[in-house]
Every structure is written in structure tokens, then in C-alpha cells.
Structure 1
Amino acid sequence: MSSHLSPIPQQPQSTMSSDLSEFQENKYRLPTNVKPLHYDLAFWTDLKSLEFGGLANIDLDILKETSAIVLNCADTLSVTEASIHCAALKTNQVQAAQIVIQENLGRVTLNFLASLRAGSKAQIKLKYNAKLSGSMTGYYKSAWKNGDHTEYYALTQFQPIDARAAFPCWDEPLLKATWTITMISRSETVNISNMAVESEALHDPDSTVDTALTDFLSTLPRDIQWKITKFQESPPMSSYLVAFANGPLAYLEKSIVMPLSGRTVPLRVYATPDIIEQGEFCLEVTAKVLPLYEQIFDIEYPLPKLDIMAAHDFDIGAMENWGLITGRTRVILLDPKRADVLSRKMVARTVSHEVAHMWFGNITTMEWWDYLYLNEGFASMVGEVIMIDRLFPEWEVKSSFVNTHFYHALSVDAKRSSHPIEVECPDANFINQIFDGLSYSKAAAVLRMLSEYVGEEQFLKGVSVYLKSHLYGSSVTRDLWAGISAETGQDIPRLMNDWVSKIGFPLITVSETSNGIHVRQDRFLNDGTPETEENKTIWNVPLRILTVENDGQVLVDTKTFKLNAETVGFYRVRYTPERLSKIATEAVKPNSVFSLSDRIGLMYDVAALTDAGLAKLSTLLTLTNIWRNEQNCEYHPFSSPFFVKIYPPCVDIVWSSVFNNMGIILTAFWEHPQIVDSLRAFIRTLYAPLVARLGYEFPDGEAVDIVQLRKVAVTGAALGRDESVAQELRRRFADYLKTGNDTGIPSNLRLAIYIAAVRYGGREEFDALIKIIENPAKSASKSAAITAIGKLEDLDLAEELFLYILTGARDQDVVDFCQSLAVNPLFFRRVAQFFKDNYDVFVKRFGTNSMLKFLVTVCFGNLSTKEDLVADKDTSRYTMALAQVLETIRSRIVYIERSSQDLSQWLTEWEQGSKL
């Protein structure tokens, strides 16, 4: 009980009860004897004492006769009173309840003396209180610097199962209800929630006005001026989408007119006052994308407003709470004067992704977490590809998708430890583990494949049919297929079921004869050929064959062709070496028919085949060498009266994929110094000429393609340890240290400059980056500094950094710090040992959020020897992540043993050839 509240009579509590026997059939799902209809929730929040409490009145349908009601409630809540009102009770209409806590299951059982009859209505009332923790789950506190003072605000993060940490509820997505929320807070603070404010007034403790909150308000201290904010009733929604926040928040606002309803909808971006001006771009994107979704889905946006809140402490990237999107500052805010293209893309993708959920996930919600991909895969594909392509066509997001979601999904799904997109979630501990590259990226990739197969317009119309059929309800996979089938007339389940219900994806092997081409599919695994039992799925594969005619002849060996045109099919293709050479040669011709996505996909296919031992690693390097001079076209980079011969549009994305592949090889062979030195020399010859041509300056009005190409060129040359580039980057940071003026650090080169500073510098550079990290007003600079600081090569400073992670870093940043160190070969094993040594600290620190599984992935993901396979900790909360990491280590061991001689020989021959 909070120290400043008047005493509340305690109800008897216990940890076991004979009335629980009927609920033991499924200990992970709530019983179905009652159904919630409406929640009337009142919360008080005190940001000085860092406490909160509440009163929950919940209307129920009694579906089966019962004398016990079970609902979700975290053990961090202290439930002090519970009662039920039911007109059908034979005795007194109000009964007190015996409160039974079911520890480790997140439940509370309310036992009653009299039975509740089936078909009757009831209302339960619960009072509770709790501390505001820094857990980043439930209702929690976030810290910010107001001048020299640390202050707090509070906000919610409920997905997947943490609404129960803020109030007792039926915390399952299927059990939708309507919600009325009232917030009671200190008068100087701001309250926001899913719905618009209905009324707001200061509380007069001497008022005799009779309200439902009179008794509850009487327990609050009288020496504080409280404010009561009541919000409008919501449509039916799942508990994990409920959201509210309280604190010293400021906002930017604009209004838009929606195309279907003609309603004027206000949009706001909230943040603390010191950073709120960085919300303009987010507001601009929201104003553009919200009406587009209403048009595409042909369903009105049902809420009276849409708010987006940037938080200093946030577990995941962002969260689609209905009407109140929340997320990290770096994915919502940016400095409009200094933001690089990557930051703009991140904010735009985040906003579009989360706004997509307002329909796909919030209006229509997955029935259970098995179907998480219905929410996340769709939002990733439509929100980050289709919508962003319409808003920012110059970003070439379809090709970027191949370089991000598509590539990541194939990498994860090539493991035996992968799982189907639609994956059974038997218990609460497992749910957090499926928020991964399969539920998001693979789901997005296969939905995009379907969209391209049936046509984007038909696909979106089918989605509209699906949504309209399940408005304010819940759904499963077959419901989505039914909607798209109805619109397209195709048997979508036959096409798609294996893609979502089976693990893995196919490798299409192409062979050629005089009569044509022959294709065979097998399951692709990153460690080679699957066993018979692993190779039984036959996927329906859209081949999408692109051919290049040669004077009308039809013989295959005189024509160039490529399977998986535009790289939209979720599979890999293996060609004969001769055919691969022909495709590669065609791809670098001026005005080649092979698109940017084709080239990226081809490169990643070859890289994956080398990983699996189905092609030599030298094949990838040869392909890279062929494409190094991909510059044979005229391109107009920005407004100028002259055409300047630079590079074809968006070739920067190809160079980014080259960068990714070179980085992977360097990481794998980090214990082979001769290979590393030779490979760095090769990388320098790829990127240094680009830097020499493009320079370091970013003139206003320059095309996005050239901006990104210059950025990747400098970053790539730095990866190769080019001395002249390193000197220039160090000089720019030295000027910043001397003057305090960072105008010489372009936002697009910020990360590269920070890395060079800490890699070649010492104490002064290290301290400067820590200072940047601790300045929350510049989230992009902070993010770059965290990514860079682990690249240091001073072992003593590294130990200081490990200590800082334990004692000084924000919880949300710990994974990023460890990731920064974990990609530095000097600390591959040190960061793994750091996790082991502080395992108990991390388990306690991240006991309720998703950080633990990500820590396992980043801390162990780059190891590559048999000794690295040892694991002696309780792994129940991250079994999937650990299995994937261990498989990655095993595969890398085989990869290194198989490829080292081939790689060394190719580099030797290349070095000899380059000297001729």
C-alpha cells in the first residue's frame, strides 16, 4: 500500500483455493465461464512518489454458472478490495470476494459464497495500487533531464501480456471490450489516452457532488491539487491496445480532413518540452498516411483523434496502441535541420507501420498470439513498402526491402531452429520470443510475394474484404485468405498455406538442356543439404522468369534469363556457374533489364549458397569484382544544367549489400589475420575510388541516391581501413573537440566519424562520445554514438564501457551497447563472458520485457569456435534465440573450415593481378 494513501480495508488473500479445480485444463488461457463487456477504469498517478493505483469496474456476461472468476493480474499489483454486484444473486446483490493470487501465472481468482447464474449480468469492482517501476512494461516511469534535474513521466506498454501489470483484466486479444478511462493526476501534468478528452477539471475535495469516484477520491492526500481527466468511451478493443500516459508533456498539432467521412481529425505528437520541436516530420508523415489508409481499406478511421508519443525509455521500437502510438524518441523524432536520409526513412517507416495497425490489428485483431504475423507481417509490408513507396518514391523502398526485411528473413529461416510464421504459443513466456524476424520480416516477404502474384490492387481490395468481414472482431489465417480469395477468384489457401504453416523455404536449382530449363526445389538450409525428413514440403512457388530475347531465337543457351524477377519470391535460386556468369555480365550492362532488386537478390543468393557449401566463397568475390565498376549510365543527380556521369539511380543499395557481405566475411574470419588484411585491401579498392570521386560534402538539393552512395562509400572505405579516409574523419571530429561546433560532421557521416574517432583515439574521444550519449536532446547523435563506441581498440577504456553498461546506461540502450561491442572482433568473447558474468543482474533488470532474448543474440552471435558453444544458464525465457545462436556458431565453424583455403587463394590471385 502506498505510504500517503488512507488505509483501505484489506480483503483476505491466499495463494491456493479448492475452487480452482475447474480451471486447471489450460493453465495458460483464461476460463471461458465469463466474458468482459466494458471496463470503467480510474487511475491516479503521483509522479513525485512514483506510485499509481486504480479502481476497476468491469461489466461481465456470465456464460456458465460459477462461484469463481479468474482474470489476469500481475503480482506487482496489490489488490486491496474486490466485490461483485449481480442482480441475479439470490442473497445480497453485492458480495465481497476472497482474493486468491496465482503466482507465476499472472492471475487472480475471485471466489464468491453464492453462485452466479448463467445468462446473468454482473459487475466486479477491484481496488489496487503499485509502484511505478522502470521496467518498460505495464504502467512504468521514464526519466528525462529538465535542466539539471531528473524528472519523470509515466506511460504504458502492454503488448503482449502486460496490461495485467497496470490493472486486473482479461488480458487476451480475443476478449475485446469497450473502455472508459479516467485519469487522476497532479494538476500541472498532462494526461493522454486512446480516446479524446471528454471532460477535465480540478478536483475539489470539499465538493459534495456525488460521483462514482467519491469514495476513491477521498483516499487521495488533500495537500495535492489533483486533476481529473475523463476520456470518451472506446470501440471494442483488446487489452494490449489500451494506452495512457501522464507527465509534463508538450505537443505539436495539425488537423486533417478524412476522405471517406469528411470528418476533421486532430493529430498530435507528444514529447517532453525539450525535444518536442523534433516532431514535425512525424506529424507531416502521419497527416499524409492516415487518409491514404482510409482510402485503401475503404473503412473509416473510427477514432476521434490520433496521437503519437515519443518516450525516452521504451522496450521495443514503437507500439500501435489505438489512437495513441508510442515509441522510442529515435524512431519518432528527428532534427529537421540535421537529419540524414536514414533517420527520415526510419521515422517514416515507423509511422506508416504503426498507422497501418489502426486497421490491421486494432479494428481486426488476431485471435491469439499464434497469429501475430497477421498484424506485424502486414504492417511491415504494406506500411513500410507499399505506402512509403507512394509517399517517397525516390527512396526505392522495394529494393531497400530486399536489403532489409527480405534478407533478414531468409537468414533466420535458413536455420533448423527456425519456426513457421504461424507458430503455436502455448504459454506466456513463449509469446515474447515470437516477436522476431519471422513474424515480422518473413511474414512481410510472403505477403509481398502474394501481393505481386495476384496484383497489388487486387491484394489490397481483398484485405479490405477481410477487414470489413471482421470489424471490431478477431481473426485467424483462413479469414485473410478468404478475403483475398473472394476478390481475386484464386485459391489462396492452396497457394499460401505451406508458406505460413511450414518451417523454411525452397532452394530452386536450375539446370539446362537443349529442350529448356529444369527446376527442382529442396528446402534451403544454411549448413547444406537437408535430410530426407526435412525435405518433404513442396511449396507453390511463383517463378517469375525474366528473359532477354536474342534476335527472336528461343534456344535457352543463347538467351539470358533470371528466375525470381524483381526478387519478390521468398526463395533462393542456384544456377550453373556458366549461367551465373552470363546473368552477372548482363546485369552490369548499360540499361540492363535486370533491376536493382534483381542485382541485390542475385548477390545475396550467391552469398547464401557459399554459406551452405553449395558454391565457393570465391564466387561471391568474383561477382563483387565484376560489379565494382557499375557506373555506365548517365544520371542527373540534382538540379543542374548539365548531365553528370556518376552512377545509375539507387546503385547505393547495391553497394550497401556489398558492404553487408564484406562485413560478414570479415566477421567470420576475424581469427585469420592474413585473410583479414587482404580482404580489407580488396574492400579499399571497392570504396576508396568512390570517395575520391564523390568527396565528403552534401550540397543542398542533391538526389537521395547520391547522398546514400557517398555515405556508403565513406563507410565502406573505413571498413577497409583506408588511411586517407580515416584521417579525414578523425580531423573532423578533432575540429569538433576543439571548437564544440559540429557543423563539420554531416549527419550522413556522423556514424563513420564517431567510429573513426573512437577507433583511433583515446580518452578524450571516449569521454566525448559518452557526453553525446547522455544528451537526450539529440537522439540521432546519441544512437550513432552508442553504435560507434564499441569500436574502440583501447582495452582499458573497453572495461570502463562494460562497467558503464551495468551502471550508467539506460535499460533500453543495453542491447545496443552490447551490439556495438559484439561486432568488434577484439571483444567477441569478452562480451559473451560479460553476459555470463552478469547473468543474474540482466535477468533481474529485464525480467518482464523483451531485452533478454536480444542480449543472447547479440552477445553470442559472432562467435565461431567449438569452445563458444558452452551454455550453463537457465534458458527458458529465450530458448528460440539461443537455439538460433548455437546453430549459427556451428554453421560458421563449418563455413570457415570449408572456405578458408578458397578465400585465401582468391585473395592471393587478386593481389597478384592487381599488381600487374
Structure 2
Amino acid sequence: MATPAPATENPDHYRLPTDVKPTHYDVVIKTDLEASTFQGFVRASFDVVKETSSITLNTTALDLGKVTVHSDALKGHQTPTDQSFDKTQERASFQLESPLPAGSKGDIKIHFSGELTGSMLGYYKSSWEDDGKSKSYALTQFEPTAARRAFPCWDEPLLKATFGITMISRDGTTNLSNMPATSEELLGPNSDVSEDVRELTASFKPEEKWKITKFENTPPMSTYIVAVANGDFKFLETSVKMPLSGKTIPLRIYSQYSVFHYQKAFDLMLFCYSATPDVIHQAQFALDVKAAALPLYEKIFNVEYPLPKLDTLVAHDFDAGAMENWGLITGRTSVFLLDPERADQQSKKRVATVQSHEVAHMWFGNITTMEWWNYLYLNEGFATLMGEVIIPGLDAKLSSHPIEVDCPDANHINQIFDALSYSKAASVLRMLSNYVGEDRFLKGVSLYLKKKLFANSKTHDLWEGIGTATALNITELMENWITKIGFPYLTVTEEANGIRVRQNRFLEGGAAEPKDDETIWNIPLFILSAQDGGKFTADKTAILQERERVFPVDTSKPFKLNAGTVGVYRVLYTPERLVKIAEEAAKKDSVIGVNDRLGLVYDVLALSKAGLAPLSSALTVVDKLKDETEYLVWDGIGDSISGLVSIWWENPEVVDKLYAFRRSLFTPIVDRLGYEFNESDSRDVKLLRKLAITQAAGGKEPKVLDELKSRFDHFAKTGDDSKIPADLQQVIFSTAVKYGGEAEYNAILQAHDKPKTPMQKIAAMIAFGNAQDSALIKRTFDAISTKARDQDIMYYFAGLAANFKTRKLLFEYFQEHYAELSKRFEGNFTMQYLVRYSMDFLSTQKDLQSTEDFFKDKDTSKYNQSLNQTLDTIRAKIAYIDRSTKDLEEWLGGWERRQ
């Protein structure tokens, strides 16, 4: 398999020359939505750092026109004598007759043109159907390296500059960019514009009306957060008063999305959809979240938000979830739109966390930006910490990467936009915050931001800020967490004078070889223990900085490590201690809190998968928690049982017994909570009800399946979806397709084609994958090529990957259509997800060999990380099945006999 360039290569080979440094760009872009083209010119001012006879910058997928170079040290302009292109590194070099002297200033002006395609990269178009007519609008997605697809530029995060954007577009459309518009006027024969602009508009027909929009100059910023958009947008708006500056900041959210609703006709509820002019109301929740988050962040970070506005643009076609362009956040419909009367809890959570994540980037990433992509976590880790912290499983693989990952070649940057840069980084930062204290942590973050205002940063800068606020050597404490691969597990054994704690690297496939287990982490232990009088305290000072050490703990009383489950490590206890902790956790009003009970479940299942503990002990812990009442703990139990079913999916006898265990756990919750969602229910009750119904249905509980099918039948026959609560939409749709036939499939298809909300369409796409009939399965696979929008293909794959009947077919489909898929998603984030969805359910040596053989002659360099992680997952499953099947069968058999 082809692999990325090794980290030992000279990184300068992949970086632009440093002889000139850009200081300001004037960018003029004319957008023609009817012709699906754009053209314009860029005048980039620069400082000459050292004498040079050439200028090299980034460009790709553009046709370049006239180029001129000016220097304040030379008279007049010069036209390059030669130009060359490096397609691999996406660069253009312009040779000059007269060298530019060091210390001088200059500028280069380049005319360019390009096509507005549906690539979801650079400056692209998003299309939709309106009354049978295809319409489109244009927007940008530049992260990590696609600004060069919109205009020639120095497309590296370190090379910050200010930007002056001018847009030319058809009258009747709206132009958006990072900053507010300073002027907008119709273009006419007497308009006061430059010769270059006049040249761009020379082809305009007399009957056409075009306008020119000029925007304020930006602060210094990196190219990847520049943004423009043009289309027929509607918007909602509000404003907030900022706590530090006292300024009033206008907030808008723009959308071109059509939402559909039912109409009553002939006294029957029919599928009769019409576009509504007030659909923008579905963006209100996201706008409210933004309005709450922006002033809160300014207060917490103690750094003013520097821009005069903050917009959000909702897009039909978007490769990632959302993007933090400074002053103009962009993202897909499912992360910014929801119907407040029909939204499920998951949708609300997703909108809230994504909007909060992107607003946090206005500070982390935009005001202060990483020097290079190896420090990506400085952006994403903090933004995730502000939204949602999840300790990832990806880092338990040999093919993992450190949080701070060497990535010299910009062609491979997409691969590190994964859970390690987002969630593990956030988890490590959360652990540090808990160790030093949140107030001191945030004080250090504020110092870091202020020192690097409008500048670039690296890891040491952050540690310096937190170190100043805490008077601790944060670099020494955190270095291995950031620069080394993996995370540890702690083995706890009990001795007469306390507990002996030993650290080793955790790998999901089994114990690490010595060569893979050399790192010694500085591990805050957060020891929760019972004191005299029965009071529990958590010791935050205990830290393991060696391979192993004894800590004084009274082992005759209850204790537990990693109080609050904020440490990024697993804890392996003796089987006897594990049972005692589980029994303590199962008590009513237990001192072992919700996070600790959740962590206990995840730890024991992960440790059993790694062969460090028997699977039976993990199931015993789950069984002891069967009277649990908290949603989060049940969510962890549900994930764990679902994971076991998915691993042993080719062993029907084991699966059937796991289904029975699953039913015994979740059906009583369904009986207690029912199917109706009430306004008076707490969020956790709603989530627990949804979880229990979904898990019971997954375990084939007959009465639950009958109820779900009945509710769908009413919807299919009448068009009335009042019996389908938003929180149950996905499980009802999937159940209908799995246990139904063509009629149910077609009803889901109708909902897909005319969705009321973005989430309804997603639910339909995932549901298609549940079909059992071969003809319907074929329709689903055909839809991937003929019906699925590029941004949505992963939902089809996810549905098919969850269906035991279509898993192998999905792998075959991926292999057969590999050339088409790799071309379709060239340069996008999507390909790495398709690799994972298509094969990480495989669990036999034969399938592993088949997978490795398939990729032997493929260029996998742009998704090599995802592929290797997937192969590690398959290997771990093979080992888990070999090691634990007998133990699992014996435990399930014993459980059955006890019922």
C-alpha cells in the first residue's frame, strides 16, 4: 500500500519558500451562477525577506491569466519571464528578470478563472430543486488547503495577511464574506471602477443587471478561514452586547433551504408538499445558541471578539459538518436547521454543540492560529472541549497518531481531522484543567490568547500560558500526552500499605509489545477513597510519573481511581475489587457518580476486548447495574452490548443470546417509560426512553417491534406522522424497512424525497440500508450512485454497514466501485469515512487478508491513516473472538439458567 511521506523527510520540501511574505490581498471575484463559472484577479502585497528572482505560491484547478509584479525598489512593473507549475504540491512559480531586493515591498497581480462545480472544495456550487427547476448558489470551503482553488495565494496557516474582498454578481443575489459590506451598487457605464473590474464586466449584456459589493478589510488571518458566498439567501438576525468591549455585534443566519409541510386535502392527510416562504425559522435555534455562546466565550477567555459581525450560512452540500470561517460560519443543514416542534433531543444536541464548537474557533484557530497542521489540536481540541468531550477509541490502535502529529505534506492533512485531533485533544485538555483547577486553566488560556493575538502558535506557547497561571511546569507534565502515540491503562494491585499502580500502553488488540510500550506518561490519578466517618474525598495531587509506584490508600474501605472519569486512561482492578466497586456503584445514591459508573462500564468492556480482563467480568458489571436509572450509564451499557452483537455477528447462537440479555435490560425501561414524549419530561428521560426503545427493538423484542410497526403503518396509510415522535423517527423508519417490504420502502422513499426536516431525510437514508429483500437491497445500492448527494453518501453506507445481510455486499460494492468512489471524493474528507464504513465490521482472517490484498496496488496515501486504523480494528476483533467466545458463551449460558 502506498503511504504518506515518512516524518523524517525534510519538511521544507513541502513548505513554500520564505523569501517573500504576504501582507495583504485585494481579491475581486465575479460569480456567474447561471454559467457556473467565476473569474477575477488578486493583487497580493508582500514583504521581500531575502533577495529573490522568483515568486512561488499555491494554485490549483484555476486557469491563470495575465500576471504582473511590482516592487517599490524597482521602477515600473515587470511581467514574469517564465512560469512553472507543480501539480503535486499545487504551486506556481513565476521567474523574474529583475531580482526583488531584500527589505523591499512589492505586489503580484494575477488574473484567474474557474468553474463552479459540486466538488465541495474551494469555491463551489450547491444545487437544489425549486418547482422542478434546478437552482444553485456558491460558497467556499477552504480548510485545509483549498483557498488555492478559488484564488492564487500563499495557502499556509503561518502566512497570515489582511484581506480586502470585492464581489461582482447578478443583481437580486446576496454576497457574503468574512466582514460586513462597506458599499454595494449596480454596475453601469459610469460606475467608478478600476480598469481590471471594467475588463471583468466587459462581456455583460445590456439587459443584464450586475452589482459590485465591497467588504471591509479583515484583521490578519490565514487563508483557510477566508470565505465568500453568493446566492438568493434569506436570513434571521439578532444582536448581542459583548461583555468586554460593550459593542453590539449583529448576528445573522442565512439559508436557501426549502422545508416541506403537510396540507390537508379532500379531508384526507395526503403527501402534499409545498415550499414555505418562512422556512428560515428552522435556523432560530442555531441563532439562539450563537447569541448565547459568543458573549460567554469573550467573558471566559477575557479576549475581545475582534470582528464587527458573525454570520452563519446553511449549505445543502457540505463535505464536513461545519466550518469556522471568521465572521461567516458555514455548515450542512443537519447541524444548523431544526423544526422546534419536531426536533428530537439528538438534533438539538448536535446543533448546540456544533454551533458552540464553531464559535469557539473564533478565538482558537482564528485569532490565534496554529503554525502548521501538526498543531491542529490547538484549534480542534479547544473547540471540542467547549462543546462535547468524548474519550476516543481510535487511540487504542497501533496505527494511531499522536495529538500533535507530524504532517509535513499538505496533501495528507485531511487524514488528521479525526477523533484524536478533536476528542482526545479535548479530553487531555480537560484532564489538565481538572488537575490544575479550572480557574487557573482558563487564566492560562487567556494569557496564551493575548500573547498570540492575530498571530500563530505552537504547543509550547499554550503550555507557557498555563504554566504562568499555575506556577507549574506544564511542558514537562503534558509533553508525552501530546507528542506520543496512545494512552495508558493502569493495573491496580493491593498491598498491605496501599495500592501499587503500574502503567502500560493500552491497545485494543491485546498487550503491547515492549517496543510499543516505552512511553511513561505523567498521570493524575484522582483517587476517590473513603475516609474515617464514611466521607469520600478525591485526591487530585497523586500523580504517577514512573512505570509503577505504591500510593497510600486504606484498601479495607471503598476506593476508585480516576474520579469523575476525567483522566485519559483505563483502570484494571483485580476481579474481586471490580465486583466491590460495581456493587458500590449499584447502590442508591452511590458516591460513585454518573461519570464514574459510565467510565466503569466502558473501561471493563475495553479491557476485556484487549484481553486484559475476562469478558465475563465485564458482563457481570453490566448485570449488577441493571437497576441503574441514569441515561448516560444506560447509554454506555447499550453501546457496549451493541458492540458485542456487532463483533459476534457471524455467530447466530451467540447473537441470539445477546439479544435476550439486551431485551432483559431494556424492555423493563420501555414498560416503565412508554412511547409518548411529553413537554414535562426532562431531557434525560426523553433520551433514556429513546435509547430503551431502540435497544429493545434491536434485541427483537416482539411487543416493541409491533408497536413501532403499527405507528409506521398509520403514517404510510394516511400521511399523518403524529404517531412518530421525532426521537423515535430513526428506529421506526429502520424497523419498517427491516421487517416490511416494498410498500414500506416506498413510503420511506417518499419521506426522503420530500422531507419535512433535514433529520427526516437522514433517518430515511439510514433506514434504506435495513432492507432484507434482495430487490430492495439492490435499489439502495443503486441509489448511492444515482440518488445520493455527495455529502449524504456516508448515511447510506452507515445503514448498510449496520445490516448483517448487507455487510459483505457493502464491502464488495466498495471494491467494485472503488475507482468511481475515489474519483468522486478526491480531496474530500468523505473517502476516509467510506473506507471505515465499508469494512471495519469484518472479523475473520480470510476477510482481513482479502482487504489487505485489495489495497496492495492502490494509492492509499490520502486515507492511509483511516485504512490502517480499520485494519487494526479487524485484527482486534479477530483476536477478541478467538480469545473470548468460550467465556462469553459460558457467561450467557449461566445467565440464561438464572432467569
TM-score, normalised relative to structure 1: 0.91
Displacement of 1:523 after TM fit?
0.8
Distance in 2 between residues matched to 1:812 and 1:202, nearest whole Å: 35
Which residue pairs with 1:292 in the alignment?
296
Conservation of the 8 A alpha-carbon contact between 1:290 and 1:355: yes
Which residue pairs with 2:898 in the alignment?
913
1:11-160 residue pairs with structure 2 within 5 A? Answer: 26-74=12-60, 76-89=61-74, 92-96=76-80, 98-160=82-144
Letter in 1 for 2:402: P
Q: 1:201 to 1:590 in 2, by over 3 A?
A: same
Structure 1, residues 636-657: CA drift from partner, whole Å, max 9, x if none?
Answer: xxxxxxxxxxx4xxx1111111
What SS does the corresponding residue of 1:139 show, helix, strand or coil?
A: strand
Which residue pairs with 1:372 in the alignment?
376
Which residue pairs with 1:587 in the alignment?
585
Distance in 1 between residues matched to 2:139 and 2:534, nearest whole Å: 66
Structure 1, residues 98-133: CA drift from partner, whole Å, max 9, x if none?
Answer: 332222221111122221111111111111111101
Conservation of the 8 A alpha-carbon contact between 1:684 and 1:722: yes
Conservation of the 8 A alpha-carbon contact between 1:420 and 1:504: yes
Distance in 1 between residues matched to 2:489 and 2:317, nearest whole Å: 42
Which residue pairs with 2:324 in the alignment?
320
What SS does the corresponding residue of 2:759 show, helix, strand or coil?
A: helix
Conservation of the 8 A alpha-carbon contact between 2:89 and 2:411: no
Displacement of 1:217 after TM fit?
2.8
Which residue pairs with 1:641 in the alignment?
none
Distance in 2 between residues matched to 1:29 and 1:570, nearest whole Å: 34
Conservation of the 8 A alpha-carbon contact between 1:543 and 1:564: yes
Q: 1:679 to 1:241 in 2, by over 3 A?
A: same
Q: 1:177 to 1:555 in 2, by over 3 A?
A: closer
Distance in 1 between residues matched to 2:534 and 2:866, nearest whole Å: 52
Which residue pairs with 1:509 in the alignment?
491
Which residue pairs with 2:595 in the alignment?
597
Which of 406, 417, 423 in structure 2 is aligned with 1:441? Answer: 423
Q: 1:709 to 1:552 in 2, by over 3 A?
A: closer
Distance in 2 between residues matched to 1:600 and 1:209, nearest whole Å: 64
Q: Do structure 1's residue 536 and structure 2's residue 536 form an aligned pair? A: no
Structure 1, residues 780-838: CA drift from partner, whole Å, max 9, x if none?
Answer: 11122222221222222111111110111000111221111112111221111111100
Which residue pairs with 1:174 in the alignment?
158
Which residue pairs with 2:387 in the alignment?
384
Which of 353, 359, 366 in structure 1 is aligned with 2:363? Answer: 359
Distance in 2 between residues matched to 1:168 and 1:136, nearest whole Å: 18
Please identify, of 619-628 and 191-200, the stretch whose mean Cα deviation from structure 2 is larger: 619-628
Q: Do structure 1's residue 500 and structure 2's residue 482 form an aligned pair? A: yes
Q: Do structure 1's residue 478 and structure 2's residue 464 form an aligned pair? A: no
Which residue pairs with 1:746 in the alignment?
725
Q: How many residues align?
A: 848
What SS does the corresponding residue of 1:843 show, helix, strand or coil?
A: helix
Distance in 2 between residues matched to 1:151 and 1:210, nearest whole Å: 31
Distance in 1 between residues matched to 2:625 and 2:81, nearest whole Å: 73
- Of all paired residues, the percent bearing the same amino acid is 50
Structure 1, residues 603-647: CA drift from partner, whole Å, max 9, x if none?
Answer: 1110011101111111121111111112xxxxxxxxxxxxxxxx4
Distance in 2 between residues matched to 1:613 and 1:374, nearest whole Å: 34
Which residue pairs with 1:204 in the alignment?
188
Which residue pairs with 1:244 in the alignment?
228
Structure 1, residues 37-85: CA drift from partner, whole Å, max 9, x if none?
Answer: 10000101111111111110111111121121000001x1000111112
Which of 209, 219, 223 in structure 2 is aligned with 1:235? Answer: 219
Conservation of the 8 A alpha-carbon contact between 2:68 and 2:77: no
Structure 1, residues 407-448: CA drift from partner, whole Å, max 9, x if none?
Answer: xx2x11111111111011121221110001111111011000
Displacement of 1:777 after TM fit?
5.0
Q: 1:842 to 1:221 in 2, by over 3 A?
A: farther
Which of 884, 902, 905 in structure 1 is aligned with 2:869? Answer: 884
Structure 2 alignment gaps of length 5 or more: 1-9, 259-278, 536-551
What SS does the corresponding residue of 1:27 show, helix, strand or coil?
A: helix
1:693-704 residue pairs with structure 2 within 5 A? Answer: 693-704=672-683
Distance in 2 between residues matched to 1:770 and 1:210, nearest whole Å: 53
Which residue pairs with 1:21 in the alignment?
none
Distance in 2 between residues matched to 1:875 and 1:504, nearest whole Å: 23
Conservation of the 8 A alpha-carbon contact between 1:549 and 1:560: no
Structure 1 alignment gaps of length 5 or more: 1-23, 386-400, 631-646
Letter in 2 for 1:564: N
Structure 1, residues 4-62: CA drift from partner, whole Å, max 9, x if none?
Answer: xxxxxxxxxxxxxxxxxxxx993321001101010000101111111111110111111
Displacement of 1:361 after TM fit?
0.7
Distance in 2 between residues matched to 1:187 and 1:786, nearest whole Å: 37
Displacement of 1:273 after TM fit?
5.6
Letter in 2 for 1:908: G
Q: Do structure 1's residue 161 and structure 2's residue 145 form an aligned pair? A: yes
Distance in 1 between residues matched to 2:88 and 2:168, nearest whole Å: 30
Q: 1:210 to 1:183 in 2, by over 3 A?
A: closer
Structure 1, residues 761-787: CA drift from partner, whole Å, max 9, x if none?
Answer: 111221222232233551011122222
What SS does the corresponding residue of 2:294 show, helix, strand or coil?
A: helix
Distance in 1 between residues matched to 2:196 and 2:822, nearest whole Å: 42
Which of 254, 258, 265 in structure 1 is aligned with 2:249? Answer: 265
Distance in 1 between residues matched to 2:101 and 2:462, nearest whole Å: 37
Q: Do structure 1's residue 821 and structure 2's residue 800 form an aligned pair? A: yes
Q: Which has the higher contact order (CA 8 A, sep 6+)?
A: 2
Distance in 1 between residues matched to 2:283 and 2:679, nearest whole Å: 22
Q: Do structure 1's residue 214 and structure 2's residue 218 form an aligned pair? A: no
Letter in 1 for 2:657: S
Q: 1:108 to 1:219 in 2, by over 3 A?
A: farther
What SS does the corresponding residue of 2:12 show, helix, strand or coil?
A: coil
What SS does the corresponding residue of 2:643 show, helix, strand or coil?
A: helix
Please identify, of 782-791 and 51-60, the stretch whose mean Cα deviation from structure 2 is larger: 782-791
What SS does the corresponding residue of 1:905 show, helix, strand or coil?
A: helix
Distance in 1 between residues matched to 2:755 and 2:190, nearest whole Å: 42
Distance in 2 between residues matched to 1:46 and 1:86, nearest whole Å: 33
Alignment RMSD, CA only?
Answer: 1.6
Q: Do structure 1's residue 837 and structure 2's residue 822 form an aligned pair? A: no
Q: 1:856 to 1:371 in 2, by over 3 A?
A: same
What SS does the corresponding residue of 2:92 show, helix, strand or coil?
A: strand
Distance in 1 between residues matched to 2:658 and 2:476, nearest whole Å: 47
Structure 1, residues 252-299: CA drift from partner, whole Å, max 9, x if none?
Answer: 001111111111110001101634220000111111110011111111
Displacement of 1:206 after TM fit?
4.9
Letter in 2 for 1:165: R
Displacement of 1:754 after TM fit?
0.8
Letter in 1 for 2:394: V
Distance in 1 between residues matched to 2:180 and 2:191, nearest whole Å: 26
Which residue pairs with 2:751 in the alignment?
772
Which residue pairs with 1:333 in the alignment?
337
Which residue pairs with 1:784 in the alignment?
763
Conservation of the 8 A alpha-carbon contact between 1:453 and 1:542: yes
Displacement of 1:550 after TM fit?
6.1
What SS does the corresponding residue of 2:626 show, helix, strand or coil?
A: helix
Which residue pairs with 2:558 in the alignment?
560
Displacement of 1:210 after TM fit?
5.5
Which residue pairs with 1:465 in the alignment?
447
TM-score, normalised relative to structure 2: 0.93
Distance in 1 between residues matched to 2:847 and 2:173, nearest whole Å: 51
Letter in 2 for 1:827: T
Distance in 1 between residues matched to 2:736 and 2:429, nearest whole Å: 43
